[in-house]
Chains A and B, each alone.
Chain A
Amino acid sequence: MPLFEVRGLTHFFGGLKAVSDFNLTFEGGELMGLIGPNGAGKTTIFNLVCGVYHPTHGEVRIEGRNLARRYPHQVTGMGIARTFQNIRLWPEMTVLDNIRIAHNTKLSYGFLDAIFQTSRYRREEKGIDRKSEEVLEIMGLRDYTEELAKNLPYGLQRKVEIARALVIRPKLLLLDEPSAGMNLGEKEALIGLIRWIRREFNLTIWLIEHEMRVVMNLCEGIQVLDFGEMIAHGRPEEIQSNPRVVEAYLGKEID
């Protein structure tokens, strides 16, 4: 059974076909890239996987379980975590709280436990604190634990966002343009970070990226999307020389 499977994914926004018959299979451990010009439907695919939108046709499965009609928080609970194109931390909260709240998806205690501070509540909160601090330690964010998320520089915010996704120990990590808004040095560091977390957390990673340097450097396989349709897929060097991809990005040569 594959780890993650997308079959015939199709989605309409009104009359507009945003995604058309998209297919993908992860056996586990891959690092795949999804590229395409602006408006090609890349983020829409991520949103369909996460349950933000429900697809018009097609299905998404993780470890054989169908994700149809599930709420985003349930999808996250099933092992898919993601980051956002424009960083979406909770700005007025501390870094530690940002990480802590991600545990909501696996919380076993309820309202009454929280009010009466039962032993189950205390045990679980202690575990959450430990796991959160552990992740912050691993990601080198230890010094910023009590800092408000909005006060961190951009690169660190991105790192916190990745830490927030990792703390629930996902099986599949979706990164939506992780290098957006970064300078050259930060991009280099990011490539190293992604490689490293993949080994450290034994992850399958699927990333959307505009920056060719990042994609070509990182990904083992790439799919290219244009107007909601997959126009090419293969290894990075194959993609680079594929005429349809060049056409989608740069336009057609006039004879």
Chain B
Amino acid sequence: MNKYSLTLLTFLFFVLVVGLSWAGMLSSYTQLILMFVGVNIMMSSSLNLVNGYMGEFSCGHAGFMAVGAYSTSLLTVWFFTTGSVFGPNLLAPAWAIALFPLILLFGGLIAALVGLLVAFPSFRTRGDYLAIITLAVNYIVKSAIENIQPIGGARGFMGMGRVVNGMKAVADIPWMMIWTWIFAFLTILLIKRFVSSTYGKGIIAIREDEIAAEIMGVNTRRAKMVAFMLSSGLAGFAGGLFAHILGYINPGSFGIMKSTEALVMVYLGGMGSLSGSVLSAVLFTLLLEILRPLQLYKWVVVPLILILLMLFRTEGLLGHRELTDVFPRLKRIFGSKEKVHAAL
């Protein structure tokens, strides 16, 4: 009974959010924020996989988001809209409903492949040096996009709004809200399952002692490759959704600033804590909105929060722990199979 209550709660939340948006009871601004919360949950939890669970320091997560955003957007715009770049649409706009999730998956796959750019160097180097490589990959992706003129270069790329409108023309339901939250839940589920399997726990062993991990049977190369690809692939989903929520993307929005936002969320929530990442993504997104009136000064306040966090609570809100460890009562409600097993 207990192990289903989390699923039930998730489902209720999903129905509530989608239902309220559909009924028009949420303003489009509120809906936008809700969707950004979903995207940020994906960004923070996927970055946590590398920075928290595996203990590497990746600081170019926005690069993978950009790859996902551009590859999905290019495909949907090419397939479903008539425009100057790709000419007339290949498929009827209504097809977007069925194909959107598949295209999103494809975008994630491309982002995962770009993740190999970081995974291969990670076999030979780690720590600060790998961090610099991730930073470089972020810049490579950003400047590459800036220099491909047919897709808009630095001016950006648009047309995704028409794709979403095409879906809305068939059935007027909040499509992007639905897909964002489905993929956000999927991301959490995927990471949860990965890190609780003996296979995935190999990456935690790498964090704890890489040499011991390698000698005691963990294929560290494969583990690193899988972790980096999974992490960047999930960031690719986030990018694809982000692009279709906004309807417009430009390379500038996937710079070091975006990567820093993801880092702040991971460290705010706590390394190696999935519930922490979710919690901090919610808090951080709301915080940014609350601070919006401050305009540019927002970027003084946010780093200040990070500094205070590092000084007074290095481990983040929930470092290496899950919500159920902090509030043991929750276990009775959300008790996972493992915990029940251990109690027996």
Which residues of A line the B interface, CB within 8 A?
50, 52, 71-73, 76-77, 81-82, 84, 88-93, 97, 100-107, 109-111, 113-115, 117, 121, 124-125, 128, 145-146, 164-165, 168
Does B213 reach chain A (CB closer than 8 Å)? yes
Interface of chain B, main secondary structure: helix
Does B200 reach chain A (CB closer than 8 Å)? yes
Query: What residues on B are CB-neighbors of A105 within 8 Å?
Result: 216-218
Does B220 reach chain A (CB closer than 8 Å)? yes
Does B199 reach chain A (CB closer than 8 Å)? yes
Complex Cα distance, B56 from A103, in Å, reads 23
Q: Which of B19-27, B204-212, B305-313 contacts A (4 or more CB under 8 A)?
A: B204-212
Query: What residues on B are CB-neighbors of A72 within 8 Å?
Result: 214-215
Complex Cα distance, B217 from A8, in Å, reads 26
Does B194 reach chain A (CB closer than 8 Å)? yes
Query: What residues on A are CB-neighbors of B204 within 8 Å?
Result: 90, 92-93, 97, 101
Excluding A72-B214, A76-B216, A97-B204, 11 further A-B contacts by CB distance (< 8 Å) are: A72-B215, A73-B220, A76-B217, A77-B217, A89-B209, A104-B198, A105-B216, A114-B199, A115-B190, A115-B194, A121-B197
Inter-chain contact A52/B215, CB cutoff 8 Å: yes
Supposing A114-B194, A117-B193 touch, asked if A109 and B215 sit within 8 A by C-beta, the answer is: no
Complex Cα distance, B214 from A77, in Å, reads 11
A214 CB → nearest B CB, Å: 23
Inter-chain contact B193/A115, CB cutoff 8 Å: yes
Q: Please name 7 pairs of A and B residues whose Cβ atoms are closer than 8 Å in the assembled complex, sorted by A.
A: A82-B215, A91-B208, A93-B204, A93-B205, A114-B193, A114-B199, A146-B342
Question: What are the 4 A-B residue pairs with the smallest beta carbon separation, nearest first?
Answer: A105-B217, A90-B208, A88-B212, A114-B197
Inter-chain contact B215/A107, CB cutoff 8 Å: no
Complex Cα distance, B214 from A73, in Å, reads 5
Q: Binary interface profile of B, 58-97, with partner A (CB < 8 Å = 1, else 0)?
A: 0000000000000000000000000000000000000000
Complex Cα distance, B217 from A107, in Å, reads 10
Complex Cα distance, B203 from A104, in Å, reads 11
Inter-chain contact B193/A104, CB cutoff 8 Å: no
A94 to B, closest residue via Cβ:
B342
What number of B residues sit within 8 Å (CB to CB) of A? 27
Does B202 reach chain A (CB closer than 8 Å)? yes
Query: What residues on A are CB-neighbors of B205 within 8 Å?
Result: 90, 93, 101
Supposing A89-B212, A90-B208 touch, asked if A114 and B219 sit within 8 A by C-beta, the answer is: no
A-B contact count (CB 8 A): 99
Inter-chain contact B216/A97, CB cutoff 8 Å: no
Complex Cα distance, B209 from A189, in Å, reads 27
Does B226 reach chain A (CB closer than 8 Å)? yes
Query: What residues on A are CB-neighbors of B193 within 8 Å?
Result: 114-115, 117
Does B162 reach chain A (CB closer than 8 Å)? no
Does B320 reach chain A (CB closer than 8 Å)? yes
Supposing A73-B219, A90-B204, A114-B193 touch, asked if A128 and B199 sit within 8 A by C-beta, the answer is: no
Complex Cα distance, B171 from A180, in Å, reads 72
Complex Cα distance, B189 from A114, in Å, reads 11
Supposing A50-B215, A121-B197 touch, asked if A101 and B202 sit within 8 A by C-beta, the answer is: yes
Inter-chain contact A101/B216, CB cutoff 8 Å: yes
Supposing A90-B212, A91-B208 touch, asked if A125 and B217 sit within 8 A by C-beta, the answer is: no
Supposing A76-B217, A89-B212, A168-B217 touch, asked if A101 and B194 sit within 8 A by C-beta, the answer is: no
A122 CB → nearest B CB, Å: 10
Inter-chain contact A107/B199, CB cutoff 8 Å: yes
From A52, A90, A106, A145, B213 is in contact (CB under 8 Å) with: A90
Does B258 reach chain A (CB closer than 8 Å)? no
Inter-chain contact B208/A93, CB cutoff 8 Å: yes
Complex Cα distance, B214 from A164, in Å, reads 13
Complex Cα distance, B106 from A132, in Å, reads 39
Complex Cα distance, B199 from A146, in Å, reads 19
Query: What residues on A are CB-neighbors of B342 within 8 Å?
Result: 145-146
Inter-chain contact B208/A92, CB cutoff 8 Å: yes
B219 to A, closest residue via Cβ:
A73
Supposing A90-B205, A92-B208, A111-B226 touch, asked if A102 and B197 sit within 8 A by C-beta, the answer is: no
Supposing A103-B198, A104-B198, A115-B194 touch, asked if A71 and B208 sit within 8 A by C-beta, the answer is: no
Complex Cα distance, B215 from A93, in Å, reads 17
Query: What residues on B are CB-neighbors of A77 within 8 Å?
Result: 217
A90 to B, closest residue via Cβ:
B208
Inter-chain contact B199/A111, CB cutoff 8 Å: yes
Q: Binary interface profile of B, 172-203, with partner A (CB < 8 Å = 1, else 0)?
A: 00000000000000000010011001111110
B195 to A, closest residue via Cβ:
A114
